[in-house]
Structure 1
Amino acid sequence: MVTKAQAKPKTDFERWQAYVNTATQHPDRWNGYDCEIQSAVIEYNRYLMGNAGYLPLDWQIIKAMLWVETGADSPKWGSNPIQIGNPGDPALNTLINGKEGSNLVVPPAIRTKLNVASATTQPALNIRAGIGYMLTRMAKFSIQSVPDADNKIYDVTVKPGDSLDKIARTQGSTLEELRALNPGANALKPGQVIKYRKAAMRQVITGWRPVTTQNVGALYNIGDPAYTRKLDYALTLIHTGKPVACK
């Protein structure tokens, strides 16, 4: 017979599991950020919809992330519930400086408000920053030729010593754009007319990894081997609960 003194110590996951089980019994805490999360997710979905096959983000996975990251008993719950911006965490700096393609993911209306102070003291911004970094980690990027807003096609006459690459650089276009507009124009001759359109090589989103608990645990999480397992458990509780009616 195992006595109380001999009981096996609980793992981190078991302690967290017991905590969230208790939290669900207090709807004011458990559902406290639901409407804010839904509002933030709507902002991102509107901004990214139609972008390289983007699929609408499910707000419930963000709620699960909050409860894995913090929880209502944490002093951070009222300031930075998703914990982005903690000392030593490079994620917030990535967003503030538009690195890793985050400038293509985070809506400008959110990005312009982000700084260390605002994102770590205002829960609404902290949540939006967390969503932005998570989606940045889910996005796939590449460098491609992007046409300028001026879609007009221009002509340029080849001069001695010109090449398609030189013309592209001189005229503010790209080699890819010139090749597309001038198929077969490899060996240029002086006097030849080449078509071009203003363009630049830029980073673009080319696709998205599915926002699954496995991907969030592997690509967003730092340091918690039980992160995916906790997300799955939190989602089970969220799915069985009664949703909050938000305006």
Structure 2
Amino acid sequence: MAIQPSSANRSPFDKWKDGIDAAGRSPAQWNAWDSEIRRTVDECNRHLSNTPGYHPLDWRWIKAIIWVETGAHSPAWNRQPMQIGNPGDPGLTSLLSGKEGGDRIMPPAWKGRLTVGSARSNPVDNIRAGVGYLLMRMANFRMDTVVDPNAKIEKVTVTASNNNLWHIARNTGTTVKNLQSLNPGITPAQLKPGMELKYQKASEQRVIFGWKTISASTVADLYNHANIYDYTRKLNYVFPRVGR
């Protein structure tokens, strides 16, 4: 007969798995955050559906993250289930700062309502912040020209003092790329006083041009940052146990 290892000899990972297995036998506990996770992921999937290369986020990754980050026996389960916004964690500030692309990730309805305070005290907002941060880290960004959606095509006249594309772009509130797009083939040598150029109001902004593949290892690396091996093992254990 096989000898079962005593509780004292079981590894922390094995003890953690026991807790996950026990939770899975308690539907009320195991499924506690499912509706909020699904709603949040659906909002993000709709918002990001037109970005290049986007594949809808599987809500099961978020449930798996929550069970790795906290689990129902953690004091944080009912307040910060995704653990984003903890002291010393830069993730929440990165998401909300608008300097790393979070403004491109978050659905418009979240903006102004999702704050540092709400993410730290409201579990639903903590889930939103966690999903937003994960997707921000999964997105590939670059700087590009974004035209004001309400801008009309207008004309500007080249003058002796306003005779290069950079100055014209700055003075008209657009970009060199926009000027070149609306005036194909124009070169600095061709600019002469009296010439008219088309332009639209536009600015250089961070835009999404692709996405990283979501897997246990990329989530562990980009969301958790530390203890990547252990975090990957845990995600790989939980994810297949999350029902559709």
TM-score when normalising by structure 1: 0.89
1:72 maps to 72
- Report 1:148-159 matches (<5 A): 148-159=148-159
The CA distance in 2 between the partners of 1:155 and 1:203, in whole Å, is 26
The match for 2:182 is 181
Q: What is the alpha-carbon distance in structure 2 between the residues aligned to residue 96 and residue 28 of structure 1?
A: 32
SS of alignment partner, residue 209 of structure 2: strand
Whether contact under 8 Å (2:155, 2:199) holds in the other structure is yes
Distance 2:152 2:117 in 1: 44
| 1:195 maps to 2:232 | no
Output aligned runs, 1:93-112, within 5 Å. 93-112=93-112
Note the alpha carbon deviations across 1:128-163, whole angstroms, 9 max, x for none: 110010000001111101112244322222211411
Correspondence for 1:56: 56
Unpaired segments ≥5 residues, structure 1: none
Aligned partners of 2:30 and 2:178: how far apart in 1? 53
In the alignment, is the contact (CA less than 8 A) between 2:95 and 2:136 conserved in 1?
no
The RMSD of aligned alpha carbons is 2.2
Structure 2: which 5+ runs fail to align?
none
Once the 2 structures are TM-superposed, how far is the Cα of residue 98 of structure 1 from its aligned partner? Answer: 2.5
Per-residue CA deviation, residues 16-46 of structure 1 (Å, 9 max, x unaligned), is: 1121112111111111111111111111112
Is 1:21 aligned to residue 24 of structure 2?
no
Q: How does 1:224-239 map to 2 (within 5 A)?
A: 224-225=227-228, 226-239=230-243
Is this contact kept in 2: 1:95–1:111, CA < 8 A?
Answer: no
Q: How many positions carry a matched residue from both structures?
A: 239
Query: Structure 1 vs Structure 2: percent identity of aligned residues?
Result: 45
1:171 matched residue in structure 2:
172
Offset of residue 3 of structure 1 = 8.9
Tell me by how many angstroms 1:236 deviates: 1.7
In 2, the alpha carbon distance for the partners of 1:44 and 1:5 equals 45
Q: Which moved more, 1:119-128 or 1:57-66?
A: 119-128
The C-alpha deviation readout for 1:55-93, integer Å capped at 9, x for no partner, is 211111110000000000111111111111111111112
Q: Give the Cα separation in 1 of the matches to 2:5 and 2:213.
A: 45
**Equivalent AA in structure 2 for residue 164 of structure 1:** L
Which contiguous aligned blocks of 4+ residues in structure 1 show a shift greater than 6 angstroms? 2-8
